[in-house]
């Protein structure tokens, strides 16, 4: 019996509308693991399905925080959870807004003087 199989592909259109492979967060192998086995992992992690193998039982223990992740599936699922729950920092290359609402330049016309 194959572990984590559910017969359905796993997609997260809310957090990854263009798919796992195009997100840049996962390698091709990780994206394939999420797509192929993610539904089974989701059902196990949420308690909607009982573990049927020792790998699935260990996966549930990893999700509960009882043991560290060691298999590919466990590491990929934990990486996925971290990506969707942690706040992303976005860095821009631009100047800071003007302080106190005053511009950095003088708006008076010097030709009047």
Q: 24 pLDDT exceeds 70?
A: yes
Asked whether the whole model's pTM tops 0.75, one would answer no
**Helix-then-strand count for the chain, H and E:** 3, 0
What's the pLDDT at 43? Answer: 95
Give the Cα separation of 14 and 17 in Å (integer): 6
Two tokens at 52?
């049927």
Buried b (16+ CB within 10 A) or exposed e, 5-28: ebeeebebeeebeeebbeeebbee
Give the Cα separation of 28 and 11 in Å (integer): 15
What's the pLDDT at 110? Answer: 62
Select the more confidently predicted residue: 91 or 32.
32
Average pLDDT over residues 87-111: 66
């Amino acid at each position: 019996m194959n572990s984590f199989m559910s017969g359905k592909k796993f997609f997260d259109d809310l957090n990854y509308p263009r798919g796992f492979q195009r997100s840049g967060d996962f390698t091709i192998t990780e994206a394939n693991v999420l797509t192929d086995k993610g539904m089974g992992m989701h059902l196990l992690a949420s308690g909607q399905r009982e573990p049927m193998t020792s790998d699935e039982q260990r996966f549930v223990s990893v999700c509960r925080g009882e043991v560290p992740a060691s298999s590919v599936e466990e590491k990929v699922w934990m990486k996925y959870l971290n990506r969707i729950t942690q706040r992303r920092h976005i860095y821009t290359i631009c100047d800071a807004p003007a302080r106190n609402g005053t511009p950095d330049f003088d708006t008076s016309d010097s030709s009047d003087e």
